[in-house]
Structures are given as structure tokens and as C-alpha cells.
Structure 1
Amino acid sequence: MITLKDIKDAKEKLEGIILKTPLTYAPFLSEELNSNVFLKKENLQLTGSFKIRGAFNKVASLDEETRNIGIVAASAGNHAQGIAYAGNYFGCDATIFMPEATPLTKVSGVKQYGANVVLTGQNYDEAYAAAIKFCEENNKTFIHAFANDKVIAGQGTIGLEIIEQIEDLEVLVIPIGGGGLIAGAAVAAKSINPNIKIIGVVASGARGMKDSFEARLPIDSTSVKTIADGIAVKVVTPKLLEYALEYVDEVVEVEEHEIANAILFLLEKHKLVVEGAGAVSVAALMHKRIDIENSKVCAIISGGNIDVTMLSQIIEKGLVKSYRKMNLMVTLIDKPGSLMHLTSIFQSSDANIVQIDYDRSSIKLEFGEAYLTVSLETKGEEHQKVIRENLKQNGYRFKQI
């Protein structure tokens, strides 16, 4: 296993390359949870994720001849950008294998550093298999996203920074995919302060490490499906499980809707753009998966490379769920003035129309009727009740969608 010295050596290699990202107090979470909660904002890191730490440390450790032959990686996106950046920095050829469903923002982020991108497979593990085969056929060096000592040591520099930035830390909450981040950060933190409690967080759609941690032996997931694509790892690496069993106190899981809630919360309340994998630590705190009352807590926000389409969907669903948006399908009599009468009801209810669609051709309609699908900006649950009541009093047939 790596040591604190390995992590300190990695820190020296990363001087002048990475950012010492901010660690700031989170007032809304702290008040709600009756604790002092801090956020380590690796979403603001160069390349938008902590992954550049381990990737650069590993590439920097290679001799020039090896680098000149070329480096290869498999990644859902963030490790890929770190390898691409390091390849560009050292002037070596980099080829990255990524799952076919990788968000465009992550693919573009890799290409901007001049790396070759190969989209293949349904998940990380299938992209990984293709990358290994490519390395064997072309005699290139494969750099694993998490199961590599130099990579783990690089990720561990986050733990060093956190200990430097906050005194008397009691709980450190860390996302888990493959386990490289939690392994490195936990070694750093507990080597300095053995009393720090390390909590890992997995997504419910990729819970291999949690199952393995509880069983104390590697148990691969039969499938992975989660909006937290950065931690969607199917195969549990025995080496990383050893780190977890040695240094991690507890592993918890969060549901998909809880991850989405955390993304929206961080965007709205903390003005942070965070990807699914980066939000799981906050999701675990928000939904009280961890007992942290009266504690000094740090949650690592591991990355911010979220696809804007996904972000748009999360915002849309969040507005509906919080009663700030209301979608209705109303049945109208298809004659002049019907639409004006309906919109006057919305106006009198103080609801703003943001989108409207008129359908008079559906086979479900009676002759002389039309469907109106409308989206409204609303001011909460009570406001929506008023709108529904006004529609009923005016004899409209409708359903909320």
C-alpha cells in the first residue's frame, strides 16, 4: 500500500500544475444538519475534476522513452481529461477509450488537449477491456483510472490539502467509484489524524464497492446504471477493496433522485455546477445517510463535468418537484375565445405561462374538442391548489402531468 511519503512526493510533482481548490463553509447544510459542514470544491479543479492529480502524477513518473511510445487510458471522462492534459504537457501521444454514452462535454474536454478518443462499450468496464487489448497490440502503456499506486498517491493529495485547510476535522465524506480517491485521501487523512472518520458514498445504481465492503470480499455489480457516470464502475478491484477495509469506516448509498436533488441544491444554494459523481457526498448529507450531528465535516465535491442536457433535465424535474412549475393538459371546446378564457383564469390565478401547445387532432378527443398542454410558473404547493380549484370551478376537465 502507498504511504504518506508517496502522497507527499506526488504533491511535489503536482506543484505548479494543479489548483489548490477552495474548501469553504456550507451554511445551508450546516444549519440543517446542526453541524459545521465544509465543501472541498474539486469541481473547480483544472479539467473540472480531481482526476488530474493521479493522472499527472502517474505520467510524470514514466521515463521519456515509455511516454514517447504512447499512453492509453479508459475512462468515463474525468480520468480521460487528466491523462489528455498530461499527455499534452509532456508531448506524448495519448489514446483514450470512453463508453459510448459519455457526455459530450467530457469527450470535448479530452479532445481539446489533443488526445485520440475511441468511443466503445456500454460502460467503463467494456471501454477498459478494449483499451487493454489496444495496449497489447500496440505496445503502449496503460494508465488505470484508479488501481495504480501513483494514481492513488496523486488523489491522496486532496487529503493533505483538506488537513491543511481545516483544523480538527472529524468526518470526511468521499464519493466511491473504483475507489482510488477514497483510498488516497483516506491514507493521507488517517496517517495525520487516525481519529478522522472516513465515509464512502456510492450510487444505488453502482453499489459494487458497498456490497464488497460489507461482505469483505470483491463482489462485482451485475449491471450499473446511474446519473453519476463518474462512479459507474461495475468491477471491484481487490486492491482498492483492501484500502477500503483498512481505512474506511462506513460506506453508504444514495438513490438517483437524491443525487439529482443534491445537484440542484448545489447549483441553487451554493452556485456550484456539480456532476452526479461529485454530488453524492452532499446527497448523503442532505438525506441523512450519515450521523454527523455536532461534528466538523468535509464533503469532497469530486467533479463538475456534467452534460448540459442532463443538467437541464435535473433542473426541470426539480422545479416540478418543488412546486415551482406545473404542467397541465386541459380539455377545451374548440371554438373562438376558448383559449382566451382559459388564459384569463391563469392570469387571475397569478400563474405565468412559459410554454403552450394546442392539439385538435388526437383520436382520444371528441369532435369539437381540443387538448391544451401548458407549463406554468408557480409559487408553491398552495398556489397550485388554487389553480386547480379555479379550473374546476370553471368546469374544465384537466390532468396534471
Structure 2
Amino acid sequence: MRHTWRWFGPVDKVTVRDAAQAGAEGIVSALHHIATGSVWPVDEIRKRQDEIKAGGLFWDVVESVPVSEEIKTKTGDWRQHIAAWQETLRRLAATGIRTVCYNFMPVLDWTRTDLRWETRHGARAMRFDLAEFIAFDIHILRRPGAEADYPESLRDDAARRFAEMSDEKISSLGRNIGAGLPGSADGYTLDQLLEKLRSYQGIDRQRLQSNLIDFLSQVVPVAEEVGINICAHGDDPPWPLLGLPRILSTEADYVHMLSQVDAKANGVTLCTGSLGARADNDLPKIAERFADRIHFVHLRNVTRDADTLPCSFVEDEHLEGGTDMIAVLATLLREEKRRRDEGREDHRIPMRPDHGQEILDDLTRGAQPGYPAIGRLKGLAELRGIERALLHPQYGLNS
């Protein structure tokens, strides 16, 4: 596989050279400073490429070209935003980019209640605490109708948790949940978040699915024309939040998306951490089913507090948690061999060690939450070790 590393640009406290020293071959990045719904300027794309080359690597994957709320709801300037997305694909292709990741999560991107939860050995990890999230929804955000979305036992647990919260805890919970895309300057106050939620009134799961298919029907032909693969990241966490539908949470969700716009350029970002937060998602099976359409991989593991849906979970070490990472990697390596045998240019699937626990000097570096230097280095080293073992000529998949 092609080992990549997410980099948020010059503001990132983990540098491209750090990534190269950690063993990365390429960089995953985006132009976070360009407003959502706008065309990415060619000079800004080339500037980012030059910044990455100066550190000794190349820009392999765009993560992500954001999909605006207007596109997701098909309101306001959604047509202009789709046109901007199409033109951005053309410009990225002209500068050599061949893989673009995106997501279709309404309002919130990945959502956690704690960005630096302390583990048993003193590392810091991201955590989703269900009781805290419900307490935020009902008692802090005060979303109309929120109580009806939860059973009495969870409401009672959330009420007890809220009663114990300090003012600082309430503020930090609001900041953590209201944060925008990783690396962006976006984010929501409580009032802004409520206003965004109101913009989805009348949009149920079926309608959001339809809006995704309409979007793909317009951008996939452009991707095919210019030679780019676009790949949808799953919902994180993979269940409805704040009364909003989620439509890329299960194997069946991806079957629907891929069958409705059946083109190789329309593919999957396989995120083992996002999908792995659901006990009913079998990640090795999902990897095998969609192998031909997997264009990008996030390797991450989570440990669930329970197998119920929804549930609390923490982002564990890469080889711990509920996902059989060895089985997933074996499936992906078999797919790479199949692609090589077919002579496909995209036979090496880009992957990155997704997130990571803050350990050692990470604890004082203050990097983007979830993206520490040493924690990701550790994860990448572990994943590379599995890959090398699986491919060993005497014992591995190539034997």
C-alpha cells in the first residue's frame, strides 16, 4: 500500500519532514483556507504542492474538497457550489492529483465529546461519550424535540451527568461538538448550530440519500473525464446525531451509493474507525465486498463500551479495539495484487494511519487533536509491520 500522512498545511505543528521521518511516502492535505463552495485557485493548489515537495514528499490525496450544506440540502446556491466542485476537480487533475476524499455528513463532521481523554497508561485519545453527548443535546444545546430521540434510561443518565458538570466542562463540550472540519477555521456557536439544524427541517434519510445521488450524478462524470477517483468517507459516528439523518454508516448504505452511480470513479474511503464504531459492521467483510471501489483507506481502531447502537467509544491503539486490522490489511493486499495482475495504474491503494493517541512528546506539542506526531508514527510502524509480514515471500500472500 502507499503510506500517506495527513498534513494541515504550514499551520500544522507536525511538519512534512516529520511525516517523512515517520515513514510516510505521500501527503494527504487540503486547502482549508478556501471557502466551502468556492473554486480552488490553481496557484493555491500549486503552492500547497510546493510546500509539500519542500519537505521531501508529494501531495497524493486531497482530503477533502468540502461538500457545502447547500449541496446537501439542495437549497440556496447549491447549483453554483456543484459547478465549483466540478471545476476544482478539473484543476486538481491538471496539477496531477488523482484521488479526492469527501464526506456527506450533515452539519457536523466527525464528532467527539472529548478530544484528549486520558487512557489507562496516560496517553490522550479522542472519545465519544454517549451520556455526555445526550446531556449536550438536551441540556446545553436544548434542541427542540431532543428528548424524544432517546429512551428514558439514557435521558436519566444524561441528566445526572449534566448535574455534575462544571461551567468549564459545559463550555469545552460545546466547543468539542461544535467544531468544524479538521484543520478548518469553521465551527459553530450554540445559536449557529441550532440554525444549521433548522435548515435540515423536512430532510429525512431518504431525501438526503437522494441529494447525495444527485450530487454524484453531476460530479462523477467530470471525475471520469479528468481521471480522478472520488471516494466517500463514512459517517463518524455511524448513526444519526442531533436529529440529523446519516446515510453512509453501513455496508447497505455504501451498496446503495455505489449501485445508484455505478462508475469506477465513484468509490469508497474505507475508514475502519468510523465504521468500526458499530458492532454490526464487519470491516473485513466490507473491505472484501467493496475492494474494487476502495480508493483510499483510513486505518484506525476503536473500543466500544457496549455493542448497542448508539454507544460510547474511545479511539484505541491501531492494533487494539474491535476491528481485526490484520484481516482488513490482508484483504486490501489481495486486492492490490489483483489490480497489479490487471495492469491497473491505481494498484497501490493510498492509506494513512488515521488519528492516533498522544504519547511521549505529543503530550506537550499541542498538535491538531487526533493528529499527533509520535502516536501516528507508532500506528504507521505497526501497520507497516503487519503489511511486511503478510507479504513476506516465504510466509505471506505472495508465496
TM-score above 0.5: no
**Higher relative contact order (Cα pairs below 8 Å, separated by 6+ residues):** 2
Give the TM-score taking structure 2 as reference length: 0.30
Larger radius of gyration: 1
